[in-house]
C-alpha cells in the first residue's frame, strides 16, 4: 500500500490527473511545482531540494514535470535540459536520494522502431531530436538505481488551456472546415491521461525497477486515431490530406508503438485498446458540456 505520493509537476496535464487518482484511491499526496502546489519551488535549482528533505522520506516520488514541445526543445535546449534532465540529476545528487522510490515519466519517442512491430523495452534507441535526447539523458541517470522506475509512455487528454493536446487538436480540426494534414506513417500506442495516471500508480506500488512501456493494447497511425475519433463522434469529416511525418520541421521516429507485455505481466491485467481510449476521451469531453 502506498503511504504517500509526492507529485512533481502537479499542475500539468498528467500531474492533475495523478492528483485525482490519489484522491479517488484515498492516497496521501503532496504536490510540488513552481506555483499553486503544496510546495512551490523551482526544482531545477539544487539548493531548493533541501526544502523537500523532511517531506520526502518513505514517499513515492512521481516526476510528471516536462518540457514537451518538440519545436521549443529544438530552439531552446538549455531550458529543455533544465526541466527534462536537470531535475532528475538534482534528485539523485542529493543526500536523501535513498529515502524514496523515484518514478521517471519518460517518452515513447526514443525507439528506432521496426515496421509492423511494437517496441520492447530492450529494443534499439534512436535519438533524432532534442526532446528525446533530454528524456534519454534523464533515463540514464535513473538506470542502475535500485529505487527508480522508468515509464515510457504516450498519453493525451483535455488540458483546456492555450497549449493544445493531441486530442484537443483533433477536436478542433473535426469541428472546423479547414483542411487537415494527417500522418499515415507515424504509429503509436496512445493512452488517455486518466488511464495513464491510474496505471502509473499501479506500477508505482510494485517492486519494479528499470524500464517499463505503458501504452494501449494496440498501436495505430496518427491518421487512424483521428478518423476513429471522428467516427466515434459521428462526424463526417472529409477535408483531409495525407502526408508523411518526414515533412515535419522537427524529426520524429515513425514507429513508436509500444510492446506492453512486460507491464501486463507485472500488473496481471489487460490495458485499454485504442477504441476504449477514444471512448474514454469522448466521455470526458461530454462531461465538460
- Residue 114 bridge partners (DSSP): 117
pLDDT for 53 equals 74
pLDDT for 49 equals 84
pLDDT category at 93 given cuts 50, 70, 90 is confident
pLDDT for 1 equals 55
- Percentage of the chain modeled with pLDDT above 70: 96
pLDDT for 287 equals 67
Closest Cα partner for 61 from 1, 11, 17, 104?
104
CB 244 within 8 A of CB 185: yes
CA distance 208 to 210: 7
The residue with greater pLDDT, 189 or 161, is: 189
- If you average pLDDT over residues 153-175, what whole number do you get? 88
The pLDDT of residue 122 is above 80: yes
pLDDT for 54 equals 72
- If you average pLDDT over residues 16-24, what whole number do you get? 96
Average pLDDT of the residues of the chain:
91
The residue with greater pLDDT, 286 or 145, is: 145
Q: What is the pLDDT of residues 182-210, one digit of tens each?
A: 999 999 999 999 999 999 999 998 878 99
DSSP state, residue 210 = E
Strands 220-221, 187-188: parallel, antiparallel or unpaired by DSSP? Answer: antiparallel
The pLDDT of residue 252 is above 70: yes
Closest Cα partner for 28 from 65, 63, 67, 1?
1
pLDDT for 161 equals 64
Helical axes 166-174 vs 222-232, angle rounded to 10°: 60
Does the pTM exceed 0.85? Answer: yes
CB 6 within 8 A of CB 60: yes
The residue with greater pLDDT, 115 or 214, is: 214
The pLDDT of residue 274 is above 60: yes
CA distance 286 to 28: 29
The answer to which of 48-62, 212-226, 229-243, 250-264 has the lowest mean pLDDT is: 48-62
CA distance 57 to 266: 26
The residue with greater pLDDT, 113 or 289, is: 113
pLDDT category at 224 given cuts 50, 70, 90 is very high
Measured in whole angstroms, the distance separating CA 182 from the mean position of its chain's CA atoms is 22
pLDDT for 177 equals 76
Closest Cα partner for 232 from 157, 169, 171, 168?
171
Amino acid at each position: 500500500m502506498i503511504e504517500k505520493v509526492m507529485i512533481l509537476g502537479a499542475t500539468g496535464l498528467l500531474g492533475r490527473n495523478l492528483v485525482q487518482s490519489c484522491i479517488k484511491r484515498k492516497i496521501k499526496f503532496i504536490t510540488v511545482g513552481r506555483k499553486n502546489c503544496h510546495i512551490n519551488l523551482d526544482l531545477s535549482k539544487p539548493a531548493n531540494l533541501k526544502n523537500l528533505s523532511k517531506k520526502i522520506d518513505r514517499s513515492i516520488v512521481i516526476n510528471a514535470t516536462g518540457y514537451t514541445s518538440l519545436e521549443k526543445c529544438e530552439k531552446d535546449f538549455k531550458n529543455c535540459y533544465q526541466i527534462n534532465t536537470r531535475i532528475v540529476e538534482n534528485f539523485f545528487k542529493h543526500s536523501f536520494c535513498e529515502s524514496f522510490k523515484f518514478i521517471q515519466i519518460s517518452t515513447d519517442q526514443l525507439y528506432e522502431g521496426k515496421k509492423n512491430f511494437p517496441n520492447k523495452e530492450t529494443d534499439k534507441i534512436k535519438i533524432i531530436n532534442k526532446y528525446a535526447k533530454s528524456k534519454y539523458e534523464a533515463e540514464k541517470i535513473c538506470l542502475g538505481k535500485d529505487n527508480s522506475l522508468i515509464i515510457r509512455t504516450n498519453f493525451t487528454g483535455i488540458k483546456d488551456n492555450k497549449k493544445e493536446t493531441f486530442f484537443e487538436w483533433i477536436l478542433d480540426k473535426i469541428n472546423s472546415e479547414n483542411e487537415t494534414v494527417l500522418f499515415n506513417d507515424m504509429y503509436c500506442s496512445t493512452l488517455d491521461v486518466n488511464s495513464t495516471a491510474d496505471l502509473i500508480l499501479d506500477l508505482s506500488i510494485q517492486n519494479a525497477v528499470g524500464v517499463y512501456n505503458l501504452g494501449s493494447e494496440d498501436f495505430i497511425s496518427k491518421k487512424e486515431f483521428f478518423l476513429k475519433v471522428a467516427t466515434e463522434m459521428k462526424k463526417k469529416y472529409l477535408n483531409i490530406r495525407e502526408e508523411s511525418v518526414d515533412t515535419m520541421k522537427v524529426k520524429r521516429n515513425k514507429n513508436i508503438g509500444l510492446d506492453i507485455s512486460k507491464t501486463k505481466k507485472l500488473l496481471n491485467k489487460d490495458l485499454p485498446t485504442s477504441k476504449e481510449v477514444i471512448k474514454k476521451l469522448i466521455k470526458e469531453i461530454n462531461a465538460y458540456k
